[in-house]
């Protein structure tokens, strides 16, 4: 961002230097929302940084938590315990759309399937029949079975 100046009628004029071709773009707006909080690199988050430093976790090319194809962080295995991560904190890993609502659902499904493969107690793979049964329970306003 090159500059922010006051424009006509209480507007703000923002000049942005476009990359890679140097050209200046001018934006006229009523408000600017400061979104610096959206920096999701592990280094920028005290909780994730502590986790990375403490367990020497590898980061992906985006500087975020590196996960396996099933979204597990294998370095955090503890006995039968498993640790899975998804979303903004893992963008740049094996699943490109992980930082989206659909991506979060896919990651959750893959993580649960992975836990089921490891014979986690009371957890079963999601088959079409099981999915139908749970959906019928949802329609009948009954709690899902484990
Ligand atoms: C403007 C915008 C529009 C979007 N539109 C879409 C869309 O239309 N469709 C779509 O699929 N995706 C969209 N996305 C992407 C979607 O919002 C993200 O994929 C999703 O929110 C990621 O979820 P998350 O849980 O990984 O991270 P977040 O939603 O960012 O949640 C992380 C949470 O952790 C909290 N937190 C951070 N540090 C700490 C700490 N130290 N202690 C405690 N809490 C902490 C934060 O406050 C935050 O609530 C959009 C994103 C943006 C920014």
Going by CA atoms, what residue is nearest to atom 31 of ligand 1? 88
Q: Are residues 71 and 110 in the same domain?
A: yes
Q: Is residue 116 part of a domain?
A: yes
Q: Are residues 11 and 75 in the same domain?
A: no
Q: Are residues 67 and 114 in the same domain?
A: yes
Please name the residues in contact with 86: beta carbons below 8 A apart, sequence gap of 6 or more.
67, 71, 98, 103, 104, 107, 108, 111
Q: Are residues 81 and 17 in the same domain?
A: no
How many angstroms is it from 82 CA to the middle of ligand 1?
Answer: 23
Q: What pLDDT was estimated at residue 58?
A: 96
pLDDT, one tens digit per residue, over 83-135 is: 999 999 999 999 999 999 999 999 999 999 999 999 888 888 788 999 999 99
Q: Are residues 78 and 26 in the same domain?
A: no
Element (H, E) at 137: helix 128-139
Q: What pLDDT was estimated at residue 37?
A: 66
Give the binding-site residues of ligand 1, using a 6 Å CB cut-off: 38, 45-47, 87-89, 99-102, 104
Q: What pLDDT was estimated at residue 36?
A: 66
Mean pLDDT of 12-21: 86
Question: Can you give the pTM of this predicted structure?
Answer: 0.77
Q: Are residues 17 and 66 in the same domain?
A: no
* Domain boundaries, position 13: 3-33
Residue 55 CA to residue 135 CA, distance in Å, equals 40
How many angstroms is it from 88 CA to the middle of ligand 1?
Answer: 6
DSSP helix, strand, coil percent of the chain (3-state; round to 5): 40, 15, 45
Going by CA atoms, what residue is nearest to atom 37 of ligand 1? 45
Q: Are residues 10 and 70 in the same domain?
A: no
Q: Are residues 45 and 107 in the same domain?
A: yes
Number of domains present in the structure of the chain:
2
């Amino acid at each position: 961002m090159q500059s922010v100046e006051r424009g006509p009628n209480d507007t703000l004029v923002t000049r942005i230097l476009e990359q890679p071709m140097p050209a200046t773009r001018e934006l006229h707006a009523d408000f600017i929302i400061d979104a610096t909080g959206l920096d999701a690199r592990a280094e920028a988050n005290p909780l994730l940084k502590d986790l990375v430093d403490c367990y020497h976790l590898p980061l992906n090319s985006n500087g975020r938590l590196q996960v396996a194809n099933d979204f597990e962080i294998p370095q955090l295995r503890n006995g039968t315990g498993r640790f899975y991560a998804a979303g903004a904190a893992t963008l740049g890993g094996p699943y490109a759309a992980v930082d989206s609502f659909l991506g979060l659902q896919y990651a959750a499904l893959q993580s649960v399937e992975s836990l089921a493969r490891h014979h986690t107690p009371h957890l079963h793979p999601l088959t079409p029949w099981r999915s139908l049964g749970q959906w019928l329970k949802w329609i009948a306003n009954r709690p899902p079975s484990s």
